[in-house]
Structures are given as C-alpha cells and as structure tokens.
Amino acid sequence: MKNLDLQKEEIIKCLHCGNETLMRQIGEFCWDSSDNELFACPVCHKLTLREKTMKRNSYYEIEYDDKETILYPINSINSCAIPIEIKEAFESALKIKNIDKNVCLMALRRTLELILKDKGAKKWGLKDKIEEIAEKGLLPKTLKEASSLTKMLGDTAAHDKELEIDQHDVESMAEFVGFIIEYLYIIPDKINTYKERLSAKKEN
C-alpha cells in the first residue's frame, strides 16, 4: 500500500462511528480489476477500506464500474446460498454493529428468527423455534446454545433488561449468527459444489 501525494477527500459514511463525513484518502492499492482505497475518519480516527471495480478500455485508459464495496469494517456476507431476506437482515445488523449496540442485537435476533422460519420452524416463540429446529437435528448443541444466547441478548436489548451490554457482547453475537449461517447454508452449498465438480471429473 502506498501513501498518496495528492490527498483526495470524499464524503463517506463511517461504519465505525456512524458519521457521514468528509474523509481523507490516505492510501491506495491497485491490482488487476480492483482499486482499493483507504480512508481515515476525522471523527473516530478509524480506517475504512473501500474497493472499486475497474475495467480497462486500453492499457492506459481505466473506467470505474458503479460498484463500490466496503471491505473493512466487514458489513456484508458474500454467498448466493443464503436466502436474500436472511442475507439482508444479517448485513443490516453488521452495518450498525459499531453504531448502536441495542439495535444491532435486535437485528441479529430477527435474523435468527428468519433462519429458523426458513428451516421449517412452526412454533410461536423464538425459544420454542430453537428447540424445534434442534430436535430435527439441524442445529448441533453448540449452535443451539449460540442461538439461545442470541435470543437472550436480543431480548435484553429490546426490553431494556438490567444487563449491561458492551461491544464484546455485540461482536460475539454477530459471530455466533455468522457461524449459524455458515453451518446451515454456506458449508452445505460448498460441499454440493465440490461434489458436482468431483462427479464431473470422474465422468471425464
């Protein structure tokens, strides 16, 4: 990564502190079809890494696509195996993870509820939904516990219960829900993709 001689400034929303502010670009790294730009937030002094996709018309001429992706802090999950409603709910939670702890925990609880519903849970309360899906063998013991903890912290955030929530709690719950998504959607998809590839190799 290199420092820029010409300092570029751009209005960007900081996903660390939530401020939409004028940020100074302090670094850039170009490789193949992407341009990675590093910005510093003047409010919280934390860094944002953004990727812009490029296309070349010639060796010297570069055009940028409209797509810009924040690579850090992480606020998305890249897999087509996840149902869109669940993906959007989880990404919404990640985007406010460093901005509003209580809202993030409630969003993670909602994500969990959508996952259980997608997997066939019919019972009313979230606690019963977790038990129902676990009894079907879809959630191993560790992920059942992760689900229960996500429910508990989400309830605490929603009902202002007397439990002090800190950033570590939020980071842990986001990680737990990420594990659940990976176990139920991403890993099975990767295994099926590999099996198809292996089957094609055997046929050749």
Please state the pTM of the whole predicted model: 0.77
CA 12 to chain centre: 19
Dist CA 78 CA 130 (whole Å): 25
> What is the pLDDT confidence band of residue 174, given thresholds at 50, 70 and 90?
very high
Dist CA 71 CA 44 (whole Å): 18
> Has residue 95 got a pLDDT over 50?
yes
What's the pLDDT score for residue 18? 80
Dist CA 51 CA 21 (whole Å): 18
Give tens-digit pLDDT for 151-166.
999 999 988 777 889 9
Question: 89 and 51 in contact (C-beta within 8 Å)?
Answer: no
Dist CA 116 CA 126 (whole Å): 9
Question: 185 and 82 in contact (C-beta within 8 Å)?
Answer: yes
Lowest model confidence (mean pLDDT) among 90-104, 137-151, 159-173: 159-173
Domains of the chain: 9-72 (no CATH), 84-203 (1.20.120)
Q: Which of 88, 79, 94 is nearest to 176 (CA)?
A: 94
Q: Which residue has the higher pLDDT, 55 or 3?
A: 55
